[in-house]
Amino acid sequence: AIKSAEKIKKKLDNAGKNSWILVADEITPEKLLGLRIDCLVDCACPRIADDSQYFKKPILRPEDIDEL
């Protein structure tokens, strides 16, 4: 998953977007509170994108970035 995250980060950086790699055992809406992000790209758990209705920010899969 880290190689995928690094590839996505590089692509976003090259597109002039600010990006960060965050590592967590579990991602919940509460853990994202206070983070000033526009969206999240989840490289590790496909369930997160399925649960995106619980999050206030969009959650993308790595293949979604390939479409940019």
CATH of the domain at 38: 3.40.50.11860
Nearest C-alpha neighbor of 27 from the set 54, 2, 8, 1? 54
DSSP annotation string for 17-63: --------S---HHHHTT---S-EE-SS-HHHHHTGGGSSS-EE-HH
Could you identify the residue written with the tokens 């977007």?
Answer: 17
Domain of residue 26: give its range: 2-66
pLDDT in tens, 14-68: 999 999 999 988 888 898 888 999 998 988 887 777 788 888 888 888 888 877 6
Please indicate whether residue 45 or residue 13 has the higher confidence score (pLDDT). Answer: 13
Count of structural domains, the chain? 1
φ/ψ bin of 16: left (φ > 0), alpha (ψ from -120 to 50), beta (otherwise): left
Give me the pLDDT at residue 45, please.
Answer: 80
